[in-house]
């Protein structure tokens, strides 16, 4: 009776009351009496208590979203919807809030619609360049904090798909090509999100490693290769974060859609890894009721096509067991209790602190920008410099951001066009972080001149008459398509060539979603990879260029010399798919361009990224793990066994600096894996002349092979080689250890 009375006390509320209060804040006051609000019970016990009270319709409400705004034309928008990417209706009579999901890969999306501010962080790939789990945590902490302040209770960021395809349009949302690095950074990011009592997520599970044909492609790969690479990244991330959600991807894997793939969802994620949260589909990635439900999908997004009425029928007729529906609901509820969104719902009345967010973003950018070339110590620039030509990429006013569902809205509108409101799909957005102003701040006496870079001759002329030339080049990337090549678009290679020919002190700053080729590399004095550096990016960049700070970022991804060096010189399926122009034209006519299914055959298995270059004896442009500093580091004194390594690093230069010490292991020959694997890393800060001893544990999992017969990871007996140094190619210390038969 008490429950019924409560349900009556909670009429449908508007999205925000006159006081800006969300409905689930109001509900929370009343739920104290419910037995499941007893915090001394475990999240599982609390979820079960709620479950017992629920009707089948209430259960069904929790296992699907409420559509793109509304489920069906004419339906009202649910009262609790906070206008993010998705909303799952709560159960007001039981005090269970709805789930307000917001895209938040590099900051909270869709802020401008409601005049909200969100911090643009450096790209996730940039954060991975820090090799710093704490920066990863801070990254997620900013996102979680701002989601909470904006009234969302779930992040649907957390991309950890590995870079098998360096031209992938979403690489900037992911954390590079190595499973240990990517899993560690993204796991800490989601831990940071959840530290704000906001539901976290890891996506896109799995093998969503290119955008070309993502809704129709079938990734073909052996279980062993998948377990030791892409799945390992997910496994590490999930182990670290214990996220509420895992989002299954659009593509097929070995013949089955990812969101109805029993191997991925049940056998691996839930059984092998013991994942206790819920699997939600990517938006429109559910393809069936029965198969998806039985394979392990727990929540359809964004609508109810398969998990609404059809699931009810299936449960009532027994084709989907009641226990499976209960398991879906249990997983959702237990995650909400475990993370704290029921005990401590967010309040959208709070205002995001933009200064705190900006400072955090700047800190992450400082660690993520990578110095790739520094001939004759052209950098750091002297504050007494007389004149600098700044060229290209709107470096007078802003920094570029990545597009798609990761797009954050720029505060005050786009820095270049001043267009305000929500960013448009596939249209580049510049954020107001001005390289020109920040460079000028370091050299107030210098004459700084800006040239757009569209007129190559004029840019070269300006460079000729300046002491230094800094050319900003960019590659705009976004969800939904890949770059056809790694070459810089829009004639920018010719621009760099012309400027470098005019001025020997030319420094190139790259803002890109991933690796790009540099046919001009030998002609320029300096190269800096800034990724998409975020709202504090220009300040971090200027501090690094002038040596106020030292570079410490290292590449989480190999930079090839050219597309021909890649395992797949051409993107799989690219010739079969409509071009960007065709997609735009079709959209204008409200039609869909034709898509033809195809296989992406990852027959190279584990051979991609640095594994590929090593196994093929190819010399890339810049190897995985590479990054220069204004000082030098000496490695010495390696001792290693199966469990740990110990070595000394000394700062041999005259500036303070931070080295990313990297430990790689090559397995015994019998494993058939002729390449190194990253097994441990640590940032080590050192004063000039200072030495530190570094001891790192090796997680046995990171050097195990997946035994398909025994369906488990195990160590191959034999001799293991250990390599320690500052990049995958520069490993001055080597040793070996033996692993005995089990």
Distance CA 36, CA 59 (A): 16
Least separation in angstroms between CB 103 and ligand BGC? 5
Site string for ligand BGC, 395-434 (x = CB under 6 A): ----------x-----------------------------
Per the structure block, which two tokens stand in for 382?
């002297």
**Identity of the residue, 85 or 638, whose beta carbon is nearer to ligand BGC in the bound complex:** 85
Which residues share a beta bridge with 32?
Answer: none
Least separation in angstroms between CB 280 and ligand BGC? 9
DSSP 8-class letter at 381: P
Least separation in angstroms between CB 201 and ligand BGC? 8
Least separation in angstroms between CB 198 and ligand BGC? 15
Q: Are strands 676-686 and 657-666 parallel, antiparallel or unpaired?
A: antiparallel
**Identity of the residue, 103 or 168, whose beta carbon is nearer to ligand BGC in the bound complex:** 103
Least separation in angstroms between CB 337 and ligand BGC? 24
Least separation in angstroms between CB 52 and ligand BGC? 32
Tally of CA atoms within 13 A in the half-sphere of 368 that contains its CB: 37
Q: Buried (b) or exposed (e) across 58-73, using 16+ Cβ within 10 A?
A: bbbbbbbbbbeeebee
DSSP 8-class letter at 670: G
85 belongs to the binding site for ligand BGC (CB under 6 A): yes
Per the structure block, which two tokens stand in for 47?
């979820």
230 belongs to the binding site for ligand BGC (CB under 6 A): no
- Cα of first residue to Cα of last residue in the chain, in angstroms, is 61
Contact 459, 492 (CB under 8 A): no
**Identity of the residue, 401 or 451, whose beta carbon is nearer to ligand BGC in the bound complex:** 401
**Identity of the residue, 102 or 544, whose beta carbon is nearer to ligand BGC in the bound complex:** 102
> Reduced to 3 states, what is the DSSP secondary structure of residue 31?
helix
Task: Classify residue 377 as left (phi > 0), alpha (psi -120 to 50) or beta.
Answer: left
Least separation in angstroms between CB 480 and ligand BGC? 8
211 belongs to the binding site for ligand BGC (CB under 6 A): no
Per the structure block, which two tokens stand in for 472?
């900003």
Least separation in angstroms between CB 403 and ligand BGC? 12
Query: 607 to 626, contacts with ligand BGC by CB under 6 A?
Result: none
658 belongs to the binding site for ligand BGC (CB under 6 A): no
Which residues share a beta bridge with 506?
Answer: 469
Least separation in angstroms between CB 586 and ligand BGC? 17
Least separation in angstroms between CB 157 and ligand BGC? 8
Least separation in angstroms between CB 330 and ligand BGC? 24
Least separation in angstroms between CB 335 and ligand BGC? 17
**Identity of the residue, 156 or 225, whose beta carbon is nearer to ligand BGC in the bound complex:** 156
CA–CA distances in Å: residue 103 to residues 143, 173, 226, 260, 675 = 10, 11, 27, 23, 36
Site string for ligand BGC, 174-203 (x = CB under 6 A): -----------------------------x
Site size for ligand BGC (CB under 6 A): 7
Least separation in angstroms between CB 102 and ligand BGC? 9
Site string for ligand BGC, 138-157 (x = CB under 6 A): ------------------x-
Which residues share a beta bridge with 720?
Answer: 737
**Identity of the residue, 245 or 340, whose beta carbon is nearer to ligand BGC in the bound complex:** 245
Contacts of 348 (CB under 8 A, 6+ apart): 16, 20, 21, 22, 82, 149, 150, 151
Tally of CA atoms within 13 A in the half-sphere of 578 that contains its CB: 16
Sheet of strand 447-451, all strands in order from the earlier edge strand to the far edge: 370-374, 526-529, 506-511, 468-474, 387-391, 447-451
**Identity of the residue, 218 or 251, whose beta carbon is nearer to ligand BGC in the bound complex:** 251
Distance CA 64, CA 66 (A): 7
**Identity of the residue, 103 or 209, whose beta carbon is nearer to ligand BGC in the bound complex:** 103
**Identity of the residue, 103 or 497, whose beta carbon is nearer to ligand BGC in the bound complex:** 103
Least separation in angstroms between CB 563 and ligand BGC? 25
CA–CA distances in Å: residue 143 to residues 83, 153, 413 = 17, 11, 20
Site string for ligand BGC, 343-382 (x = CB under 6 A): ----------------------------------------
Tally of CA atoms within 13 A in the half-sphere of 521 that contains its CB: 16
Contacts of 112 (CB under 8 A, 6+ apart): 409, 420, 421, 422, 423
Query: 267 to 286, contacts with ligand BGC by CB under 6 A?
Result: 282-283
Per the structure block, which two tokens stand in for 139?
């990254």
Site string for ligand BGC, 235-274 (x = CB under 6 A): ----------------------------------------
Least separation in angstroms between CB 570 and ligand BGC? 23
Helix (H) or strand (E) holding 371: strand 370-374
Least separation in angstroms between CB 251 and ligand BGC? 11
Distance CA 692, CA 270 (A): 42
**Identity of the residue, 156 or 638, whose beta carbon is nearer to ligand BGC in the bound complex:** 156
Respond yes or no on whether the N-terminal peptide bond of residue 142 is cis (omega within 30° of 0).
no
CB atoms within 10 A of CB 44: 15
**Identity of the residue, 93 or 203, whose beta carbon is nearer to ligand BGC in the bound complex:** 203
CA–CA distances in Å: residue 96 to residues 9, 23, 164, 441, 643 = 14, 11, 41, 52, 46
Site string for ligand BGC, 8-47 (x = CB under 6 A): ----------------------------------------
Per the structure block, which two tokens stand in for 435?
């390289």
**Identity of the residue, 211 or 396, whose beta carbon is nearer to ligand BGC in the bound complex:** 211
Helix (H) or strand (E) holding 147: helix 133-149
**Identity of the residue, 425 or 737, whose beta carbon is nearer to ligand BGC in the bound complex:** 425
**Identity of the residue, 102 or 460, whose beta carbon is nearer to ligand BGC in the bound complex:** 102
**Identity of the residue, 248 or 295, whose beta carbon is nearer to ligand BGC in the bound complex:** 248
Least separation in angstroms between CB 581 and ligand BGC? 21
**Identity of the residue, 156 or 516, whose beta carbon is nearer to ligand BGC in the bound complex:** 156
Tell which one of 89, 103, 141, 260 touches ligand BGC (CB under 6 A).
103
- What is the maximal distance between C-alpha atoms in the chain? 84
Distance CA 102, CA 150 (A): 10
Q: Are strands 278-281 and 245-248 parallel, antiparallel or unpaired?
A: parallel
**Identity of the residue, 9 or 113, whose beta carbon is nearer to ligand BGC in the bound complex:** 113
Binding site for ligand BGC (CB under 6 A): 85, 103, 156, 203, 282-283, 405
């Amino acid at each position: 009776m008490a429950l019924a009375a409560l349900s009556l006390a909670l009429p449908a509320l508007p999205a925000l009351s006159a006081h800006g209060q969300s409905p689930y804040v109001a509900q929370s006051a009343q739920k104290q009496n419910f037995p499941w609000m007893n915090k001394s019970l475990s999240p599982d016990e609390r979820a079960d208590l709620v479950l017992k009270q629920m009707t089948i319709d209430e259960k069904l409400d929790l296992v699907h979203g409420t559509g793109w705004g509304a489920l069906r034309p004419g339906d009202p928008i649910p009262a609790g919807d906070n206008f993010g990417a998705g909303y799952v209706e709560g159960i007001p009579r039981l005090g269970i809030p709805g789930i307000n999901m917001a895209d938040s890969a590099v900051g909270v999306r869709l802020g401008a619609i409601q005049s909200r501010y969100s911090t643009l962080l450096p790209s996730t790939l940039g954060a991975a360049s820090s090799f710093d789990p704490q920066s990863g945590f801070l990254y997620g902490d900013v996102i979680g904090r701002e989601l909470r302040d904006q009234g969302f209770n779930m992040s649907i960021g957390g991309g950890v798909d590995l870079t098998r395809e360096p031209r992938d349009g979403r690489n900037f949302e992911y954390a590079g090509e190595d499973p240990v690095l990517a899993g560690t950074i993204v796991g800490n990011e989601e831990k940071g999100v959840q530290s704000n009592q906001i539901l976290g997520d890891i996506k896109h599970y799995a093998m969503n490693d290119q955008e070309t044909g993502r809704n129709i492609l079938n990734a073909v790969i052996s279980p062993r290769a998948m377990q030791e690479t892409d799945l390992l990244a997910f496994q590490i991330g999930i182990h670290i974060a214990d996220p509420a959600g895992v989002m299954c991807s659009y593509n097929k894997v070995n013949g089955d859609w990812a969101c109805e793939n029993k191997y991925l969802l049940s056998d691996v994620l839930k059984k092998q890894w013991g994942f206790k949260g819920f699997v939600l589909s990517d938006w429109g990635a559910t393809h069936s009721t029965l198969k998806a439900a039985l394979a392990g999908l727990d929540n359809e997004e964004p609508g109810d096509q398969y998990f609404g009425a059809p699931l009810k029928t299936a449960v009532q007729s027994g084709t989907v067991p009641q226990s499976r529906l209960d398991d879906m609901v249990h997983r959702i509820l237990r995650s909400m209790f475990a993370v704290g969104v029921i005990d401590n719902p967010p309040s959208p009345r709070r205002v995001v602190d933009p200064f705190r967010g900006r400072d955090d973003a700047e800190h992450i950018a400082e660690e993520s920008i990578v110095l790739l070339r520094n001939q004759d110590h052209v950098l750091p620039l002297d504050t007494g410099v007389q004149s600098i030509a700044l060229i290209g990429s709107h470096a007078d006013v802003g920094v570029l951001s990545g597009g798609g569902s990761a797009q954050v809205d720029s505060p005050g509108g786009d820095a270049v066009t001043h267009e305000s409101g929500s960013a448009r799909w596939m249209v580049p957005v510049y954020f107001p972080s001005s390289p020109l102003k920040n460079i000028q701040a370091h050299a107030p006496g210098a004459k700084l001149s800006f040239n757009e870079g569209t007129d190559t001759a004029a840019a070269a002329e300006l460079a000729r008459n300046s002491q230094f030339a800094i050319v900003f080049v960019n590659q705009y990337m976004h969800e939904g398509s890949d770059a056809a090549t790694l070459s810089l678009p829009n004639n920018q290679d010719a621009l760099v060539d012309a400027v470098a020919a005019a001025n020997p002190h030319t420094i190139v700053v790259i803002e890109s979603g991933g690796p790009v080729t540099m046919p001009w590399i030998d002609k320029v004095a300096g190269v800096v990879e800034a990724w998409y550096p975020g709202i504090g990016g220009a300040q971090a960049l200027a501090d690094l260029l002038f040596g106020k700070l030292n570079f410490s970022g290292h590449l989480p991804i190999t930079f090839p010399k050219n597309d021909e060096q890649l395992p797949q010189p051409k993107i799989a399926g690219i010739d079969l798919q409509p071009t960007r122009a065709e997609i735009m034209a079709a959209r204008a006519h409200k039609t869909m361009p034709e898509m033809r299914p195809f296989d992406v055959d990852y027959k190279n298995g584990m051979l991609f990224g640095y594994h590929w270059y090593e196994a093929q004896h190819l010399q890339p442009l810049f190897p995985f793990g590479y990054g220069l500093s204004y000082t030098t580091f000496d490695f010495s004194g390696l001792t290693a066994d199966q469990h740990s390594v110990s070595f000394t690093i000394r700062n041999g230069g005259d500036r303070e600096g931070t080295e990313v010490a990297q430990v790689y292991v090559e397995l015994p020959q019998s494993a058939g894996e002729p390449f190194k694997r990253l097994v441990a890393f640590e940032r080590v800060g050192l004063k000039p002349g200072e030495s530190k001893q570094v001891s790192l544990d090796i997680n046995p999992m990171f050097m195990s092979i997946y035994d398909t017969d025994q369906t488990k990871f195990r160590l191959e007996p034999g001799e293991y080689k250990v390599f320690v140094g500052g990049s995958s190619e520069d490993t001055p210390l080597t040793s070996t250890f033996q692993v005995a038969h089990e």
